[in-house]
Homo-oligomer: A and B are copies of this chain.
Amino acid sequence: MVGIGIDGAGREGDTPSGKTRDALRAAHLYYLQDLTMDAIAKELHTSRSSVSRLLSHARATGLVEISIHSPLDLPSRLEQEILARHEVSAHVVPVPDHASDVDRLERVALSAARILSRFIDSNQTIGVAWGSTMSAMSRHLAPKATHNSEIVQLNGAGNLRTTGILYASELLRRFGDAFGARVQQFPVPAFFDDPATKEAFWRERSTRRLLDLQAAMDVAIFGVGSPFAEVPSHVYQGGYLERADFEALSREGAVGDVATVFYRADGSTDGITLNTRATGPDFAVLRRAPRRICVVSGRAKLPSLRGALAAGLITDLIVDEGTARALVETSAGAPAATSADPA
């Protein structure tokens, strides 16, 4: 873990070598002037291969940004529908219907990571949740230089590692690296065993500091959990919850969670006992963030997503096509089996 140095640039002179500088120049020549890599190699006095690598570097480090604009007159039917019905600006990620859930998640996460750059800026406090979706995203973030921004962990994470899920610290670090932001860990388990412990903890000064940061978030990024789907997600695998917890959740009508806080199909949370032991932010706190980005992949999460929408947790939704379609198809008249969701 050596310094994040400025890789040799920074000095005066006409051709101050330095990888980033070269990459920048190569990118200019390639993307703005349509030269072939061969031609660029000659101009930079190096080999084609190196130019190829420089360009990869340029893309990977966010020197080059590729964005896609719908021509305004035809934003996908789906995105319009979702906006109209849920007052949420949606980004539908095209994924073939037959794709596997893993594929789907991976592809949504990839797109989401790229789209995210638009929302991140300097001087922001950015709340990040934890889960397989976030984990996948973290692996693909397109770096974007910002100053004085801060990544805040939204909920505790215990320390168990399940397939494909990284330690929360690793996940957060990636977000921090990508945006050059400080990282604020939240070193608590996902759920306390005893609500009293949580309350005690919540009175700690160090905890308060973090909660204050959460309350001042500019952007929050999270997935949704769906405890009763066939393919249960993160929290439900790692042994964080016991059979009794699931039964209670089921009895109390929970359909999903955001950052360990559970809600019903209508978005309500009152009386869900598990929440007294959860470490994620109260929805009232979450909703203070002006931008709340939710990433969802897979129809299995539909009821959960619906609930999060009902709770008004989401301002920007990144979702795979199939799920988006299901969302608008059923929300018209026939409510899903799980809930009533009045238009």
A183 at the interface (CB under 8 A from B): no
**Docked pose: A31 CA to B32 CA in angstroms:** 17
A173 at the interface (CB under 8 A from B): no
Q: At the interface with chain B, which of A19-27, A220-228, A236-244, A299-307?
A: A19-27
Tell me if B65 and A67 are in contact (CB < 8 A).
yes
Tell me if B62 and A9 are in contact (CB < 8 A).
no
A-to-B contact residues, CB < 8 Å: 6, 9-10, 12-14, 16, 20-21, 24-25, 27-29, 31-34, 43, 58, 62-74, 77, 93-94, 96, 107, 110-111, 114-115, 145, 325
Chain B residues with CB under 8 Å of A71's CB are 20, 63, 145
Tell me if B110 and A33 are in contact (CB < 8 A).
yes
Known: A28-B68, A65-B69. A74 touches B20 (CB 8 A): yes
Residue of B nearest to A13 (CB): B77
Tell me if A65 and B64 are in contact (CB < 8 A).
no
> What are 7 A-B interface contacts by the 8 Å CB criterion?
A28-B94, A32-B110, A32-B111, A32-B114, A33-B110, A34-B110, A65-B66
Main secondary structure of the interface of A (DSSP, over half): mixed
Residue of B nearest to A28 (CB): B94
Chain B residues with CB under 8 Å of A6's CB are 73-74
**Docked pose: A64 CA to B27 CA in angstroms:** 16
CB of A5 to closest CB in B, whole Å: 12
Tell me if B74 and A63 are in contact (CB < 8 A).
no
Chain B residues with CB under 8 Å of A73's CB are 6, 145
Residue of B nearest to A106 (CB): B33
Query: Closest 7 CB pairs between A and B?
Result: A32-B111, A31-B66, A66-B66, A33-B107, A43-B96, A65-B67, A27-B68
Known: A32-B110, A32-B115. A24 touches B63 (CB 8 A): no
